A and B are shown apart, each in its own frame.
Chain A
Amino acid sequence: KNEVEQSPQNLTAQEGEFITINCSYSVGISALHWLQQHPGGGIVSLFMLSSGKKKHGRLIATINIQEKHSSLHITASHPRDSAVYICAVMEYGNKLVFGAGTILRVKS
Chain B
Amino acid sequence: EAGVTQSPTHLIKTRGQQATLRCSPISGHTSVYWYQQALGLGLQFLLWYDEGEERNRGNFPPRFSGRQFPNYSSELNVNALELEDSALYLCASSSGLAANTGELFFGEGSRLTVL
Q: Which residues of chain A have a CB within 8 Å of any CB of chain B?
A: 30-31, 33, 35, 40-45, 48, 50, 86, 88, 90, 92-101
Q: How many residues belonging to B are interface residues under a CB distance threshold of 8 Å?
A: 26
Q: Which residues of chain B have a CB within 8 Å of any CB of chain A?
A: 31, 33, 35, 37, 42-45, 48, 55-56, 58, 88, 90, 92, 97, 99-100, 103-109, 111
Are the C-beta atoms of B104 and A33 separated by less than 8 Å? Answer: yes
**The one of B37, B97, B103 that contacts A48, using a Cβ cutoff of 8 Å:** B103
Are the C-beta atoms of A41 and B56 separated by less than 8 Å? Answer: no
Give the complex CA separation of A43 and B56 in angstroms.
22
Nearest opposing residue in chain A for B104, CB measure: A45
Residues in chain A near residue B55, CB distance under 8 A: 93-94
Are the C-beta atoms of B88 and A30 separated by less than 8 Å? Answer: no
Nearest opposing residue in chain A for B88, CB measure: A41
Residues in chain A near residue B45, CB distance under 8 A: 95-98
